[in-house]
Structure 1
Amino acid sequence: MKASDLFVAQLKEEGVEYIFGLPGEENLDLLESLRNSNIKLIVTRHEQAAAFMAAAYGRLTGKPGVCFSTLGPGATNLVTGVAQAQLTGAPFISISGQKALIDNWQGRFQLVDVVRMMEPLCKKAVSITDPGMIPTVIRNAFKHAEAERPGAVHIELPEDVAEEETDAVVQKKSEIKIPFPDPEIVKKAAALICEAKNPLIIVSSGANRKAIAKELEDFARSTGIYLVHTQMGKGVVPDDCVYSLFATGIHARDYVNCGIEGADLIITVGYDIVEYPPYLWNRELDKQIINIDFVESVPDRYFNPEIEIIGNIASSIRELAANIPEKREFPIFEHTRLFIDEKISAPARKSYPPLPQTVVMNVRKVLGREDIITLDNGIYKLWFSRLYKTYTPNTVLLDNALATMGAGLASGIAAKLLHPERRVLAICGDGGFMMNCQELETAVRYGIHVVVLILNDNAFGFIKWKQKKMHFEDFALDYGNPDFSLFAESFGAAGIKVKEGDDLAEVLEKAFSLNKVTVIECPIDYSVNYETFSIELSNFTCKF
């Protein structure tokens, strides 16, 4: 069998449905083998976007997303997406081509040591030097990518290896079952919870899975214990559950801290310090901590759990609930929920351009409980994480780990590809959109009817707010933009501008009714950033 055919056959054995990428000379054998397979190929216009799509696929399915590039500049273009997958805990495989290992007549042309470049960014990076290695290397890569905590693995396939013949055969995929928690540890944790005056749960990205979501909501309802979502944990327990304290937002004191400050015991579920630093909720080192996760935690000065329940998280939560004998009331958290709900539901003043609060409310109005938003990175991400009520796991796809710009559109395309039956809205700032705007053509070419909402302030709005907060002069953060509606039309997509007097909800409904790739350009008034994040949140007091 030809080595590249074996490579693709092993990918198929691993359950690969899609592969995202941009071909080059050095992976034409792989491309031909993909042509003869039933794996669906999505050719993007930039390797970074392919990596973002694969990372989004991994987060939405729990299975490794796969992307590929050529050697040299193709591989270097993958780097940001690889880092994003690793830091967000997305199962992910990237593949790059490479010059021939033997008789490389082109010398050092385009030659970069890709494996050494990738090693610090992912769980494992390896080059295939013999075609007989292919099944084992790929099997091992998928096991590493899927193992808790999931992340990125890189494979390099040199062109002369890809074209060789081999007698190696596909290795069968094995099934791994995550062990149940230690019953004695569960009992100790339950006793600590019962002794605590105000226990509170922090739900993070590692818990954003359907099986865990059900158990966690049942746990909250049976024990009366409230919970806070991190940005990447949004939707694990629906926000209309009376025990949800909604979500964290800015990396500073926020409304939700009224509850966190009153807790004497924090129960972290699927928590990773990369996403929501423990300093933000345990800076006084006065919280007892129980950590529930698939794997042991990485110690931090502010995160040193007394007890860790390690094993299948859903089973851990179910067993923990069974060891807590009675439901309790927690007035401090009941008041906190009412306080936050009042704050995030308050109507914003009418203006043109609209305020970010108005944008959030209108998006929530037109999307159903199962519909998906994918957020690029900018100040609007804070507004959505704080104000956008969420009801279903993985319906708010954002990156609060690497927090890279440029991923919102690519993530939206991947989400719509996987869920054509749902409304999918990619929400981008003008800065982030322009970083990978060429992927509009990808969406149009494949008929992936994502709707894109561009919030346009003709500036790097997040950095402008921070610049003002630090009392620096307004400098170097403004720029110009194209007419985004005409820009979209030039790709064959629909383009809509939000004008003064328009109802944003109606504009969004119209965009979804077109059933084609649609870009909405909406100007935004960020004057409230400073008054909210720098003044109000620095001075508010909890009233209970």
Structure 2
Amino acid sequence: MATKPRTGAHVLVDAIAAQGTELVFGYPGGAIMPVYDALPGSALRHILCRHEQACAFAAAGYGRMTGKPGVCLATSGPGATNLVTGIADAFMDSVPMVAITGQVAQPIMGTDAFQEIDTFGITMPIVKHSYIVRAVSDIPSVVAEAFQIAGTGRPGPVLIDLPKDVQQAMCDMPPTVLDAPAPLPLDEEGLRRAEAAVSVAERPLFYLGGGITRAGATEAVRRMVERSGIPAVCTLHGNGVLPTGHEQLLGMVGMHGAQAANHAVQQCDLLINIGGRFDDRATGRLDGFAPHASVVHFDCDRSEVSKLRHADVSVGGSLKHAVKSFRPEAQAIAPWLGEVYEKRRATPHRYDAPGEGVYAPALLKELSEKAGKRFVAVPDVGQHQMWTAQHCEFSRPEAHLTSGGLGSMGFSLPTAIGAQLAEPDAVVVSISGDGGIMMNIQELATLRRYGIPLKVVVIDNARLGMVRQWQELFFDGNFSEVDLSDNPDFARVAEAFGIEALTVSQRSEVTPGIERLLAAEGPILMHVVIDPAENVWPLVPPGHANHQMMEG
């Protein structure tokens, strides 16, 4: 049955709502204006961020938190190009997202019209799929396909570029809702070979990656790991798959990983990779990574298998279904368990830093403990990002939302906004450095406008800390362009935005500061002043294998 003719913009808004979406993040402009004309009175709640990059990060924060595609809107030209970093970040971390950009009308496309840019071409390498909608009648099917592609298989961003004349044209097409695709068939042969490999291994080890979360397989993996008795390490994005403190978890692997985790990877004879991609920050020097191990690799994306490290056994298909069917039975591994658990016991993190100043790892540990199981950390990029990964307690993988593949400064604040709106009852904490917070600090206005009860922690060492650390260690102390000592007073900046704020600069102020932060009913910023010379330890130097760790 046909519906009453409406503009393409109204058809688009209804099509988005039909996919189950209630929230979109955007910023208006000329070429997307018909869509903004259609938003009032619709089923969609629109969040006006103060920069298009923040719209994309916020949409990805929603997608990271829910597993459903987050939606961002922007106009043509600079609006679209400002989305690019957030789209690329989602692509690198396999985050479901639908980005919708206005485009100049078709009759003037290709004429260098005002605010015309080839959004389709610019974003092609950083999206899972993309569309230019040429006919208004195509909008319902394109939107339905975009959401399905973004959220199934290996998730990722999808772009819809929508010319203005298509938004203004009339259409009587109803929304389209597609059935969920059938799951990929179970790789029975791969599973049996993987089980056989475990049965003869003397030093097996699970390597838990971010693909577990994207597949909704966390609980299945937890049950399987616990049933097997085999120890595990995690990647940066695998943090929380096993909760912090789990008896089988040796810690995070890689450049700033735990010594026990890196030791286990280097000594194991079977590495069972579930949803990880063997990226360089996790492996260190690739030809020295897990030198004694055969590899079993579970992944829904066949292109990742043997891309960097040869897989002796691969298990494709749906990760969740494969893990549910996997029955690893390790044999005599008691000596191996004794070795790796003793290494963990002998190399704990220390929090007894000298002096009266704030020790950031201890502050972050206490913050996560006091926040409890509702804690969600959204770090920016830099030293504080690694301290968060190393020292916070995560009850689930969604409790740790981090920019892993792209490493985008400016990520934290807008991503945390998306996460908080996706899960209002969570204790979401944006953890930024003094460098990263300045890249999207305008989003404090978004917090104020919508009363979003986000906790913002700015760890201020008056430096670009990670760059400074590398210059100290690997560039003979030639500190080039890392001095941020002319930072503003971040607490006063927050107050200027109408947000409650406090400053913590002494160790004695940490506990009361955290208590005030967590007790706040609305948005609040805690400015934390730390020693500019503080470094992140341990560290695998570039070009070295993971067992060659600097301990500081």
The bucket for the TM-score relative to the shorter chain is over 0.9
Q: Equivalent residue for 2:145?
A: 140
Q: Equivalent residue for 1:227?
A: 232
* Alpha-carbon distance in structure 1 between the residues aligned to 2:342 and 2:393: 14
Say whether residues 1:247 and 2:255 are aligned partners. no
One-letter amino acid of the counterpart of residue 409, structure 2: M
- Whether the aligned pair in 2 keeps the contact of 1:224 and 1:328 (CA below 8 Å) is no
Could you give the per-residue CA deviations for residues 247-276 of structure 1, whole angstroms, max 9, x where no partner exists? Answer: 125268944211111111111111124475
* Structure 2 alignment gaps of length 5 or more: 1-5
Q: Specify which of 460, 465, 483 is matched with residue 464 of structure 2.
A: 460
In the TM superposition, residue 320 of structure 1 has moved relative to its aligned partner by: 1.6
Q: Equivalent residue for 1:410?
A: 414
Residue correspondence of structure 1 range 11-410 to structure 2 within 5 A:
11-102=16-107, 108-208=113-213, 211-250=216-255, 254-274=259-279, 276-278=281-283, 280=285, 283=288, 286-300=292-306, 302-321=308-327, 324-325=328-329, 329-340=333-344, 343-410=347-414
- Whether the aligned pair in 1 keeps the contact of 2:365 and 2:393 (CA below 8 Å) is no
Could you give the per-residue CA deviations for residues 453-490 of structure 1, whole angstroms, max 9, x where no partner exists? Answer: 00001110100001111114222210211111110011
Summarize the Cα distance change of 1:238–1:109 in structure 2 as closer, same or farther, 3 Å threshold. Answer: same
What SS class does the counterpart of residue 429 from structure 2 fall into? strand
Say whether residues 1:487 and 2:506 are aligned partners. no
* Structure 1 alignment gaps of length 5 or more: none
* Alpha-carbon distance in structure 2 between the residues aligned to 1:27 and 1:237: 43
In the TM superposition, residue 214 of structure 1 has moved relative to its aligned partner by: 1.8
In the TM superposition, residue 83 of structure 1 has moved relative to its aligned partner by: 0.1
One-letter amino acid of the counterpart of residue 48, structure 2: V
Q: Equivalent residue for 1:441?
A: 445
* Alpha-carbon distance in structure 2 between the residues aligned to 1:100 and 1:87: 31
- Whether the aligned pair in 2 keeps the contact of 1:344 and 1:386 (CA below 8 Å) is no
Summarize the Cα distance change of 1:275–1:169 in structure 2 as closer, same or farther, 3 Å threshold. Answer: farther
Answer with 334-343 or 507-516: which moved more.
334-343
- Whether the aligned pair in 2 keeps the contact of 1:253 and 1:280 (CA below 8 Å) is no
What SS class does the counterpart of residue 200 from structure 1 fall into? strand
Could you give the per-residue CA deviations for residues 509-531 of structure 1, whole angstroms, max 9, x where no partner exists? Answer: 11221211111000122534177
Answer with 349-358 or 485-494: which moved more.
349-358
One-letter amino acid of the counterpart of residue 378, structure 2: T
* Alpha-carbon distance in structure 2 between the residues aligned to 1:106 and 1:209: 41
* Alpha-carbon distance in structure 2 between the residues aligned to 1:62 and 1:105: 37
Could you give the per-residue CA deviations for residues 270-311 of structure 1, whole angstroms, max 9, x where no partner exists? Answer: 112447554557626542111112232435564121211122
- Whether the aligned pair in 1 keeps the contact of 2:11 and 2:174 (CA below 8 Å) is yes
- Whether the aligned pair in 2 keeps the contact of 1:21 and 1:69 (CA below 8 Å) is yes
* Alpha-carbon distance in structure 2 between the residues aligned to 1:333 and 1:527: 38
Q: Specify which of 513, 528, 550 is matched with residue 522 of structure 1.
A: 528
In the TM superposition, residue 167 of structure 1 has moved relative to its aligned partner by: 3.1
* Alpha-carbon distance in structure 2 between the residues aligned to 1:530 and 1:175: 44
What SS class does the counterpart of residue 111 from structure 1 fall into? coil
* Alpha-carbon distance in structure 1 between the residues aligned to 2:511 and 2:97: 36
Answer with 209-218 or 273-282: which moved more.
273-282
What SS class does the counterpart of residue 449 from structure 2 fall into? helix
Summarize the Cα distance change of 1:338–1:373 in structure 2 as closer, same or farther, 3 Å threshold. Answer: farther
Could you give the per-residue CA deviations for residues 342-385 of structure 1, whole angstroms, max 9, x where no partner exists? Answer: 54443322434322322232222322123111010011211222
* Alpha-carbon distance in structure 1 between the residues aligned to 2:167 and 2:307: 48
Say whether residues 1:8 and 2:22 are aligned partners. no
What SS class does the counterpart of residue 513 from structure 2 fall into? helix
Give me the TM-score of the superposition, normalised by structure 1: 0.93
* Alpha-carbon distance in structure 2 between the residues aligned to 1:154 and 1:146: 13
Could you give the per-residue CA deviations for residues 24-72 of structure 1, whole angstroms, max 9, x where no partner exists? Answer: 1221210121212111100100000010011111111111111011110
Summarize the Cα distance change of 1:357–1:167 in structure 2 as closer, same or farther, 3 Å threshold. Answer: closer
* Alpha-carbon distance in structure 1 between the residues aligned to 2:73 and 2:117: 16
- Whether the aligned pair in 2 keeps the contact of 1:240 and 1:391 (CA below 8 Å) is no
* Alpha-carbon distance in structure 2 between the residues aligned to 1:251 and 1:280: 14
Aligned residues: 539
* Alpha-carbon distance in structure 2 between the residues aligned to 1:478 and 1:415: 31
Answer with 129-138 or 95-104: which moved more.
95-104
* Alpha-carbon distance in structure 2 between the residues aligned to 1:167 and 1:534: 60
What SS class does the counterpart of residue 201 from structure 1 fall into? strand
One-letter amino acid of the counterpart of residue 508, structure 1: I
The root-mean-square deviation of aligned C-alpha atoms, in Å, is 2.5
Could you give the per-residue CA deviations for residues 207-232 of structure 1, whole angstroms, max 9, x where no partner exists? Answer: 02695222222222221111111111
One-letter amino acid of the counterpart of residue 212, structure 1: A
In the TM superposition, residue 182 of structure 1 has moved relative to its aligned partner by: 2.6
Summarize the Cα distance change of 1:132–1:207 in structure 2 as closer, same or farther, 3 Å threshold. Answer: same
One-letter amino acid of the counterpart of residue 522, structure 2: K
